Amino acid sequence: MKKSIFTIPWRMITTILILTLTISFQLKAQTLTKENIQKALDDAYNKFKDLQEGKNADYIKELANVDPNIFGIALVTTDGQVYTKGDITSMVSIQSVSKVFTMAKDIEDLGPQAIQDKIGVDATGMRFNSIVAVELQKGKEINPLVNPGAIAASSLMAGADSAAKWKNILDIHSAFAGRQLSLNWPVYVSEAGDNLRNQAIAHLLYAYGRMYFDPVQATDIYTKQCAINVNAQDLAEMAATLANGGVNPVTKKKVVSPQTVMYTLPVMATAGLYDDSGIWLFNSGIPAKSGVGGGLLAVCPGKFGIAVVSPPLDAAGNSVKAQKVIQYVIQQLGVNPYLVQPKQ
């Protein structure tokens, strides 16, 4: 049959139309509009609010008394917009999430090489309070985001005495959060009376020459640091400050340098969720940090910080709901940095 001269242009037009629609859909899926962000938070909240998995930490007695139904989501963009859903005012102890900010302050003051040499930055791949991890490496490569490296990081904090070091730690956390934070005394007292394991870790590091202040006092400063009170919005603002190269996008104040953030985020990516860090990165693609108080924050560099508070934890010590919510939001907003649309 003879080909009509109209067949080819029609095909071309249809193809161009389909391509345009596909590309504009892909771009739309990745656009961080106000509506998209709020809808992602609302949907995540509704999807996971009735999930009953996990259990509050109870090895710190006071944590067992925290309401397991606290469930709040907050997202703060690098231009300072705040989005929330659920309970963003209930306070929980920051616990291991604090390790990020003490490490960042040490990197800022002493430089990345000092942290690499004096503590180590490789993931241990073991539980957060593993003594075996210290022993295997003779105190080296202990990582600032699990207990041994974190106690070493607190011992390295600027300040001539215990009070000065604690003040610097509280100040840096407050600057990241954009408001004056304070201590949760019942949690501090509860953990301080029961932290022989962390004291053992500090003494073992001391024996290997990898503790940079009195081990008893360093453990006490670290225990206080873990008991700083925060809500979901505080954690999201802290994450947003990291997402924004070290300037708090709400207060507009410089907290640390972009270089410090550049060295902080990779440690979060490789060790932020303890021995489940690889599983987390596989499912989210972004740096994050959890704590046994039920907080979890994650950083989408250049875009936003997101945080969830929900106390029930899984076996590795990470909030069950928080992991699911953040992974869902990242997917809905299409912001996993490893998701790249091929050039046509």
Q: Which of 77, 78, 84, 95 binds ligand GLN (CB under 6 A)?
A: 95
Q: Which of 72, 86, 245, 291 binds ligand GLN (CB under 6 A)?
A: 291
Q: Which of 153, 205, 221, 226 binds ligand GLN (CB under 6 A)?
A: 226
Site residues for ligand GLN, 165-184, by CB under 6 A, read none
> Can you tell me the distance from the alpha carbon of 25 to that of 248, in angstroms, rounded to the nearest whole number?
32
In the complex, what is the shortest distance from the CB of residue 269 to ligand GLN, in angstroms, rounded to a whole number?
17
Based on the shown chain and the rule CB under 6 A, indicate whether residue 275 belongs to the binding site for ligand GLN. no
Closest CA to 101 of 190, 171, 8, 7: 171
- In a 3-state reduction of DSSP, which class is residue 222? helix
Q: Give the contacts of 258 (CB within 8 A, at least 6 positions apart).
A: 245, 246
Residue nearer to ligand GLN on the CB measure, 287 or 317: 317
By the 8 A CB rule, do 144 and 150 touch? yes
Based on the shown chain and the rule CB under 6 A, indicate whether residue 191 belongs to the binding site for ligand GLN. yes
In the complex, what is the shortest distance from the CB of residue 94 to ligand GLN, in angstroms, rounded to a whole number?
8
Token output for 205: 């590091």
Based on the shown chain and the rule CB under 6 A, indicate whether residue 188 belongs to the binding site for ligand GLN. no
Site residues for ligand GLN, 112-141, by CB under 6 A, read 128-129
Based on the shown chain and the rule CB under 6 A, indicate whether residue 292 belongs to the binding site for ligand GLN. yes
246-270 as b/e: b if 16+ CB within 10 A: bbbbbbeeebbeeebbebbbebbbb
Residue nearer to ligand GLN on the CB measure, 320 or 333: 320
Based on the shown chain and the rule CB under 6 A, indicate whether residue 154 belongs to the binding site for ligand GLN. no
Rg (CA), the chain: 22
In the complex, what is the shortest distance from the CB of residue 124 to ligand GLN, in angstroms, rounded to a whole number?
13
By the 8 A CB rule, do 269 and 287 touch? yes
In the complex, what is the shortest distance from the CB of residue 308 to ligand GLN, in angstroms, rounded to a whole number?
15
Residue nearer to ligand GLN on the CB measure, 84 or 147: 147
Residue nearer to ligand GLN on the CB measure, 41 or 273: 273
Based on the shown chain and the rule CB under 6 A, indicate whether residue 277 belongs to the binding site for ligand GLN. no
Based on the shown chain and the rule CB under 6 A, indicate whether residue 272 belongs to the binding site for ligand GLN. no
Token output for 213: 């202040």
Closest CA to 231 of 179, 195, 281: 179
Q: Which of 154, 177, 317, 326 binds ligand GLN (CB under 6 A)?
A: 317
Q: Return the residue nearest ligand GLN (CB atom).
A: 96
In the complex, what is the shortest distance from the CB of residue 261 to ligand GLN, in angstroms, rounded to a whole number?
22
Site residues for ligand GLN, 9-38, by CB under 6 A, read none
Q: Which of 102, 130, 147, 248 binds ligand GLN (CB under 6 A)?
A: 147
> Can you tell me the distance from the alpha carbon of 142 to that of 124, in angstroms, rounded to the nearest whole number?
7
In which order are the strands placed within the sheet that holds 295-300? 82-86, 72-77, 304-309, 295-300, 288-290
Looking at the DSSP bridge assignments, the partners of residue 9 are none
Cα–Cα distances in Å, from 21 out to 8, 15, 154? 20, 10, 53
**Site size for ligand GLN, by CB under 6 A?**
11
> Can you tell me the distance from the alpha carbon of 85 to that of 229, in angstroms, rounded to the nearest whole number?
20
* The amino acid at 216: V
36: enclosing H helix or E strand: helix 34-48
Q: Which of 96, 130, 154, 310 binds ligand GLN (CB under 6 A)?
A: 96
| Site for ligand GLN, rule CB under 6 A | 95-96, 128-129, 147, 191, 198, 226, 291-292, 317
